[in-house]
Amino acid sequence: MERKYPHLCSPITLGRTTFRNRMFSAPMGGTDITNDGCIGPKSTAFYELRAKGGAGAVTVSELMVHPQTDGSHAYHLDESILNSLACATYTADAIRRHGAMPSIELSHSGMYAGTYMTDKGRQKSMNQWGPSDTIRPDGVEVKALTREMIDEIVSSYGHVAGLAKRAGFEMLMIHGGHGWLINQFLSPYFNKRTDEYGGSLENRCRFAAEALQAVRKAVGPFFPVEFRLSGSELFEGGYDLEEGCRIAGQIEPYIDLLHVSAGTYQRGFGRTHPSMFREHGCNVYLAAEIKKHVSVPVATIGGLNDPVQMEEIIATGKADVVYMARALLADPFLPRKITENREDEIVKCLRCFTCMAERAATSTRRCTVNPLIGREAEGDEVAPAPVKKKVLVAGAGPGGLYAAYTAARRGHQVILCEKESETGGILKSEQALPFKYEMYELAGTYRLLAERAGVEIRLNTEVTKEYAEKEQADALIVAVGSLPLVPPIPGLDGENVVVVNNYYLEKDKVGSEVVVFGGGLAGCECAIHLGMEGKNVHLVEMRDALAPDANVRHRPLLLQEIDKYVTVHTGYKGLEVTKEGILCEDKKGEKHLVPGTSVICALGQRSRIDVVNELQDAAPFVRVIGDAAKVSTITNAVYWGYHAALDI
The answer to whether the beta carbons of residues 255 and 225 sit under 8 Å apart is yes
Phi, psi torsion values for 362, nearest 5 degrees = -130, 0
pLDDT for 114 equals 74
pLDDT for 119 equals 64
Domains parsed from the chain with CATH numbers: 6-378 (3.20.20.70), 390-483+607-646 (3.40.50.720), 497-603 (3.50.50.60)
Task: Say how far apart CA 181 and CA 351 lie, in whole Å.
Answer: 27
Beta bridge partners of 482: 607
Nearest CA-CA partner of 330 in 354, 300, 361:
354
Classify residue 612 by burial, with Cβ atoms within 10 Å: 0-12, 13-18, 19+: middle
Task: Say how far apart CA 27 and CA 328 lie, in whole Å.
Answer: 11
The answer to whether the beta carbons of residues 641 and 479 sit under 8 Å apart is yes
Task: Say how far apart CA 371 and CA 643 lie, in whole Å.
Answer: 9
Per-position DSSP letters for 489-548, written without gaps between them: -TTTTSTTEEEGGGTTT-GGG--SEEEEE--SHHHHHHHHHHHHTT-EEEEEESSSSS-T
Task: Say how far apart CA 146 and CA 179 lie, in whole Å.
Answer: 20
CA angle 383, 387, 390 (to 5 degrees): 100
pTM value is 0.95
What kind and span of H or E run contains 155? helix 147-167
Classify residue 466 by burial, with Cβ atoms within 10 Å: 0-12, 13-18, 19+: exposed
pLDDT for 523 equals 98
Nearest CA-CA partner of 451 in 414, 483, 419, 487:
414
State which residues of the chain have pLDDT below 70: 115-125
DSSP 205: T
Nearest CA-CA partner of 401 in 645, 208, 76:
645
Task: Say how far apart CA 300 and CA 610 lie, in whole Å.
Answer: 51
Classify residue 195 by burial, with Cβ atoms within 10 Å: 0-12, 13-18, 19+: exposed
Task: Say how far apart CA 426 and CA 442 lie, in whole Å.
Answer: 11
Task: Say how far apart CA 418 and CA 423 lie, in whole Å.
Answer: 7
The answer to whether the beta carbons of residues 74 and 28 sit under 8 Å apart is no
The answer to whether the beta carbons of residues 133 and 143 sit under 8 Å apart is yes
Task: Say how far apart CA 511 and CA 530 lie, in whole Å.
Answer: 10
The answer to whether the beta carbons of residues 19 and 54 sit under 8 Å apart is no
Distant-in-sequence, close-in-space partners of 433: CB < 8 Å, separation ≥ 6: 525, 526, 529
pLDDT for 23 equals 98
CA angle 231, 232, 237 (to 5 degrees): 150
The answer to whether the beta carbons of residues 37 and 65 sit under 8 Å apart is no
The answer to whether the Cα torsion of 31, 161, 295, 55 is positive or negative is negative
SS3 21: coil
Phi, psi torsion values for 38, nearest 5 degrees = -85, 155
The answer to whether the beta carbons of residues 399 and 626 sit under 8 Å apart is yes
One-letter identity of residue 118:
T
DSSP 178: B
The answer to whether the beta carbons of residues 637 and 627 sit under 8 Å apart is yes
- Within 13 Å and on the Cβ side, how many CA atoms surround 621? 14
HEC string of 35-103 equals CCCCCCHHHHHHHHHHHHCCCCEEEEEEEECCCCCCCCCCECCCCCCCCHHHHHHHHHHHHHCCCCEEE
> pLDDT of 485-542, one tens digit each?
999 999 999 999 999 999 999 999 999 999 999 999 999 999 999 999 999 999 999 9
pLDDT for 138 equals 83
Phi, psi torsion values for 446, nearest 5 degrees = -60, -40
> pLDDT of 356-415, one tens digit each?
999 888 888 999 999 999 899 998 899 999 999 999 999 999 999 999 999 999 999 999
Distant-in-sequence, close-in-space partners of 73: CB < 8 Å, separation ≥ 6: 33, 37, 114, 116, 117, 118
